[in-house]
Amino acid sequence: MTLLISIPSIDKTINFPFKNEITINELINQILKRVGLETVQQQQQRQQTYILKYNDNELFENDTIGDLSIPDNSKLILINQSEINLTTPTTITTTNSLDEDFNKIEISNNNEFLIKQIDIIVLDISGSMSCDAYKGSREPGYIEMKRIEVAQTLFQTMIDKYVSFEVPVVAGLVLFGHNIDTTFEISKNFDSFSQELGNVEANQNSTRLYEAIYHAANEISKYKENPKEKLSDDVCFRIFLLTDGNDTTNISPYEVYKFLKPLNIILDAIPIGQEQEGLNALSILTTATGGSCFIANSTQEGVALFEREALLIPTQRDGFSPFSLSIKNFNEYSSLRGTVLKTIDRKIDHSLQGVAFISKIDKEKLEQQISNNNNNNNVGSTSSSKRIFKEYIQFQKSIDDSNSSSSSSQSSAFTIFTNPNDISIWKVIMKGEVGTPYESGHFVLSVQFPTDYPFKPPKIRFENRIYHCNINSDGNICLDILKDSWSPSLTIEKMLISIHSLLSNPNPMDPLDVVKAGIYRDNIAEYNNQCKKWVQDYASSLDDLLKDHNLI
């Protein structure tokens, strides 16, 4: 979570950590220090010299960001009142209204839900974490954040996704430098976690990296023995490490591996500004545990990475299997080759491999299946199936009527394919609208109806890649009717029509992909060119899509 701060007087732009509790006066003070504008005179006269503006409105010095309800990823402008030419800001807002598509993970609003993941964030607070995060800048006039600020931003992004996805996870925070402290015990109180994370300062000597991992593992072990929440039988245990330096103790990574293995605790890591030797050591250790070592070359890349489902939830990774490598001794450990990832994709649902989705269903067979469910007292399943079947018939009739029209412009944008063994699983081919950058494209959407449909919305996502500021890299769609504004009176036809409309009417003020939203705002021609390029690369061949997704 960040704020974008524009400073016209020095022609600079910086990212700043988003903190609800910071006052405007404190924010101005910290911005001036960051960019080197702090002088004694300015300290004495700052309130008469500098102001912050948002949406062309001056912000009152004693208000906090939270008081003003300023969303994260918004753009503020720092104005020197002695200047004549003022710049009017534009604003980017982000949303957490993501599709909750986490297969085989229990999601519930009930306090009795089972915890399926225990995370401890292990954060380096040595003095070097106050250095600039990245060498140089990809954009002239752009000042990067400090390493500790990037760390706060990345992990706050992860916490936000925990909350918005209602992930069944608890998390704790361990800080290390010369000292090693558990500053937030394992809990699902993420509001307090965010506050603790926002108060972190990097000012210690030494880097007791491997000792901190030991400490975090012991914290997980203690929680497992005396949990404050109900745990699932298949809990995933993870330590997530962010550091910028090599370990300054004499502990061997292999000894850490041997300690983690019987506890079944994987290690994920994201080094920032680390030398190659330390990076290699971390990548080998993460690989040995079944975790991953990530890297990002900018704050924007890091935030995009930390929004990925498979980073958020390790069990969503393809082939995820903790400690599956056979490592019997130090020599075998030393022979490992670690890998470093810039992104990570969610796993493919192999349960549907080999299933041919059909465009025309056997109505009599399906009615018999629904009747059998009713006879077996599967009341919820039967009720849901009847509703889905009814909507299928109505939607298919609407498609057929459109396609039989004499005007080719009236033909339907949709083709429905269903799982012959399960009416609750669909795939839909959607054509891009003529006159838009998507007009020559065909997009595959997966639709999964819950057993309590229509009281809960279906889960819909794009299966092939699409360039759109309201659709993220995992195919999740930012559309209020898919979550908060869902109503049982809505139908799948209405939802798909809304998604189709979203392609031609993107909403950059409520994006899932902040980078794409910025391009749309600043250079719509470039945005449209990228849309067309992605259509050509990923959505131009209907025959390939039908084959790849087993649609007949």
CA distance 120 to 386: 45
**Residue 111: DSSP 8-state:** T
| Pick from 95, 260, 79: nearest CA to 163 | 95
- For residue 353, the 8-state DSSP code is T
Instruction: Please state the separation of Cα 112 from the chain's center in Å.
Output: 25
DSSP character at residue 23: B
Whole-angstrom distance, CA of residue 135 vs CA of residue 130 = 13
Cα dihedral sign for 90, 94, 95, 100?
positive
Beta strand 293-294 with 75-80 is unpaired
Specify burial of residue 207 (Cβ count, 10 A radius: 0-12, 13-18, 19+): buried
Considering only CA atoms, which of 521, 257, 509, 475 is closest in space to residue 346? 475
State which H helix or E strand residue 268 sits in: strand 265-271
Residue 309 to residue 315: CA distance in whole angstroms: 10
List the catalytic residue out of 236, 293, 469, 478. Answer: 478
Q: By C-alpha distance, which of 262, 257, 263 is closest to 327?
A: 257
CB 428, CB 415: distance < 8 Å: yes
Contact 491, 391 (CB under 8 A): yes
Report which residue type is found at 45.
Q
Q: Is 531 a catalytic residue?
A: no
Q: Which two tokens stand for residue 525?
A: 């021609």
Taking CA atoms, 47 is separated from 16, 26, 51, 482, in Å, by 20, 11, 7, 45
Radius of gyration of the chain (CA): 26
Nearest one of 13, 35, 16 to 24, comparing CA atoms? 16
b/e 273-282 (16+ beta carbons within 10 angstroms → b): bbeeebbebb
Q: Which residues are catalytic?
A: 478
